[in-house]
Amino acid sequence: MQDWWRGAVTYQVYPRSFQDTDGDGVGDLPGITARLPYLADLGVEAVWLSPFFRSPMKDMGYDVSDYCDVDPVFGTLADFDALVAKAHALGLKIIIDQVLSHTSDQHPFFAESRASRINPKADWYVWADPRHDGSPPSNWLSVFGGSAWAWDARRKQYYLHNFLTSQPDLNYHNPAVQDWALDVLRFWMARGVDGFRFDTVNYFFHDPLFRDNPADFRVKVEAEGNPYGMQYHLFDKNQAENLLWMERIRTVLDEFGAASVGEMGESHHAIRMMGEYTAPGRLHQCYSFEMMGYDYSAGFFRDRIGGFFQGAPEGWPMWAFSNHDVVRHVSRWAKHGESGEALAKQAGALLLSFEGSICLWQGEELGQTDTPLTLEELTDPQGIAFWPEPVGRDNTRTPMVWDGSANGGFTTGTPWLPVKAEHAARHVEGQLGAQGSVLEGYRTMLAFRKASALRDGKTRFLTVGEPILAFQRGEGEGAILCVFNLSPVTRVVTVEGVSLPVGPGRHAGLAEGRLTLGPNGVAFLPVTGAVSLQD
C-alpha cells in the first residue's frame, strides 16, 4: 500500500528486553519472532527494532562494529530473515534502527583511520589538531559528559565523539562515507526491510571550522546535572548539509519503496526542525523528544501539534510519549493522588487520537512505569556517569513482562536487568481479555483509530481552558470531536453540534448539552453540526 506509514502506528521493540529464548538473560531475534502474533493482535502496523548489529555493547548496540551482520547475542542473519518473513505473513512492516552518524571504535574503519593520516580511511572520521596550548579544537560537549573530543596518540590529533569516547563520529563531509552508508541501507532493504529509523538524524554534519558553541540563550540559574544542555548547539550539529544528506537518503529509499523516520535530538526548535526534515523529498516522518518531557497540559499539546502542521503543512510527524531513552510517561505525568492506571489509559487514548503517525514504546500498553534501580544494578553508561540524576535509561529498558511466572516469562535465566515486583505485576497474561485493563484499552483504541477519522482526518483545535483538551478530527461525515480531561478531578463542559459518545471513551456522559468528564475522562463524539465547547 502506497504511503502505508502515513498515520500508521509503530511499536518499538528493544531486542535485549523483549523475549529471551536461549536462557542467557538477554532477548533475541527468535524471541521477537515468537511474539509477533501478539503485536499483530494488538493492532499495530509496524515494528521498529532497536539495534541488533554486531557491537561491543558499550552503549547497548548503538556502537556498531559491523553494520551488515547480527550480533551473536541476538542470533544470526538467518534468524533476522525468519523474523521479517513472519512479520510480513502477519501483515506487519519491519523498521530497523540505523546508527550511522558514528561507529564503534572497534569498527575496522576506525582502526584504519587512527593508524595514520595518509591511509585510505584517514578522512573517514572527524579529526582535528589541538589548539596551541594542547586543548581540544572547540568547546563542544558530549551528550554523555565531558568534552566531545578525545585525544589519540597514534595520530597526535583529537577525534570527535558526540556520545561515548568509544563512539567516534564519521565525517560526512567525505562523499565516500555517504556512499558507504547508502550501501548499508541497500543491504537491509534487499533483505526485505520496510523502512529505517535514523538515530540522531541531525548529528551527521559538523561545522568544518570547529567554531565554539555559544552558551544556551535561555537563562539558567544553576548548572544542570548534564552540562550538555548549557550550550546552544549551533556548530556541532544541525548543519545545513544535513538536509541535503536527507535528500540523498530519500532517493535510495524510493528505489525500494522503503519508509523512514528520523530521531530529532534537539532541545531548541525541535518542532520546526521536524518540519524541515520531512519536507518533500526528505524523510517521510520525524519525531522529537518534545512530548517526552514533563508537561501534560492542554496548552502544551495544542502548541506542539498545531505548531507543527501550521509550520510544515507538507511535513509529517511521528508522535511518541516514551521510548528507550526517557522516563516512562506514566511515571513522568502521574500527579499526587492520581491513579497511574487511569493516566495510562487516558494517555493511550490521547496519543492514538493525534494527527500524524504514532510510535508506542514496548510495555506502555500495559501501563508500565519506570523500575527503580540501584547504582549497582545499572548498565547504562549515561546513568552511571550522572548518578543520581539524570537517572539514565535502564529504568525504562527493563524486560517485557508476559506472565506471572519467574522473571515475567521473559527468560529462564537471570535477566540482564531485574524484573521487580511492581513491574512484574503488570503483565500481558493478566490483562489480555480483562475488561477495563490498560492493554484492552489500547487494543480497542488501536482498532477505533484504524476505522475512523483519527487515522487521517485533519485537526482543528477548540479554544477551551485547562485542563480540557478538545479537537475535531476530520470534516463532514465521520468527523469526531475528541475531548480529554487532563486532570484527576471531574469536569463538566457544555457542547453543541455533537451526538452521544462513541468508541473507547471512559468516564464520560452527555446529557442536555452537558458533557461530564470524570477523572482522566475521555470522550469521542460524532460531529453533527457546527461544534462549540465551553467550560
Residue 531 pLDDT: 95
Maximum C-alpha span of the chain: 80
Contact between 135 and 237 (Cβ < 8 Å): no
Residue 219 pLDDT: 63
Contact between 92 and 46 (Cβ < 8 Å): yes
Catalytic residue among 179, 224, 254, 255: 255
- Mean pLDDT, range 505-533, rounded to an integer: 92
Residue 414 pLDDT: 98
- Mean pLDDT, range 291-309, rounded to an integer: 95
pLDDT band at 396 (very low <50, low <70, confident <90, very high): very high
CA-to-CA distance for 380 and 456, rounded, in angstroms?
Answer: 38
Torsional class of 456: left (φ above 0), alpha (ψ -120 to 50), beta (otherwise) = alpha
pLDDT above 90 for 47: yes
Residue 535 pLDDT: 84
CA-to-CA distance for 302 and 287, rounded, in angstroms?
Answer: 16
Least confident of 162-176, 203-217, 501-515: 501-515
pLDDT band at 218 (very low <50, low <70, confident <90, very high): confident
Architecture of domain 9-104+173-450 in CATH? Alpha-Beta Barrel (3.20)
Residue 256 pLDDT: 97
* Cα–Cα nearest to 135, from 150, 145, 125, 122: 150
pLDDT above 90 for 339: no
Residue 389 pLDDT: 81
Residue 1 pLDDT: 47
* Cα–Cα nearest to 371, from 415, 421, 437, 323: 421
pTM: 0.97
Residue 224 pLDDT: 72
Q: Which H helix or E strand runs over 473?
A: strand 468-473
pLDDT tens digits for range 106-135 = 999 999 999 999 999 999 999 999 999 999
pLDDT above 70 for 280: yes
Percent of the chain residues past pLDDT 70, beyond the cut:
98
Q: At what angle do helices 438-450 and 29-42 cross, to 10 degrees?
A: 70
Residue 338 pLDDT: 66
Taking residue 153's Cβ as centre, other Cβ atoms within 10 Å add up to 7
Region(s) of the chain under CATH 3.20.20.80:
9-104+173-450
Please say if 255 is a catalytic residue.
yes
Contact between 67 and 53 (Cβ < 8 Å): yes
Q: Is 231 exposed, middle or buried (0-12, 13-18, 19+ CB in 10 A)?
A: middle
Catalytic residue among 20, 71, 199, 355: 199
**One-letter-per-residue 3-state SS of 209-238:** CCCCCCECCCCCCCCCCCHHHHECCCCCCC
pLDDT tens digits for range 62-88 = 999 999 999 999 999 999 999 999 999
Residue 220 pLDDT: 64
pLDDT tens digits for range 449-489 = 999 999 999 999 999 999 999 999 999 999 999 999 999 99
- Mean pLDDT, range 285-290, rounded to an integer: 95
Residues in the chain, overall count: 535
Residue 388, preceding peptide bond in cis (omega within 30° of 0): yes
pLDDT tens digits for range 306-337 = 999 999 999 999 999 999 999 999 999 987 55
Please say if 112 is a catalytic residue.
no
How many helices (H) and strands (E) the chain has is answered by: 13, 19
b/e per residue 28-60 (b: at least 16 CB within 10 A): bbbbbbebbeebbebbbbbbbbbbbbbbebbbb
Residue 390 pLDDT: 75
pLDDT above 70 for 222: no
For strands 491-498 and 514-534, give the pairing: antiparallel
Region(s) of the chain under CATH 2.60.40.1180:
459-534
For strands 259-264 and 195-198, give the pairing: parallel
- Mean pLDDT, range 258-265, rounded to an integer: 96
Residue 281 pLDDT: 97
CA-to-CA distance for 525 and 500, rounded, in angstroms?
Answer: 6
Instruction: Supply 282's cell numbers.
Output: 526528505
CATH 2.60.40.1180, domain 459-534, yes or no:
yes
Q: Which residues are CB-contacts of 229 (< 8 A; sequence separation ≥ 6)?
A: 216, 267
Contact between 363 and 400 (Cβ < 8 Å): yes
Sequential DSSP letters for 104-140: -TTSHHHHHHTT-SSSTTTTSB-EEPPPTTS--SS--
CA-to-CA distance for 61 and 27, rounded, in angstroms?
Answer: 13
* Cα–Cα nearest to 460, from 517, 525, 531, 529: 531
Contact between 318 and 284 (Cβ < 8 Å): no
Q: Is 223 exposed, middle or buried (0-12, 13-18, 19+ CB in 10 A)?
A: exposed
pLDDT above 70 for 375: yes
Strands (E) across 203-331 are located at 259-264, 285-288, 318-319
According to DSSP, residue 50 is labeled P
Q: Which residue has the cell 513482562?
A: 401
* Cα–Cα nearest to 272, from 235, 241, 243: 243
Contact between 493 and 517 (Cβ < 8 Å): yes
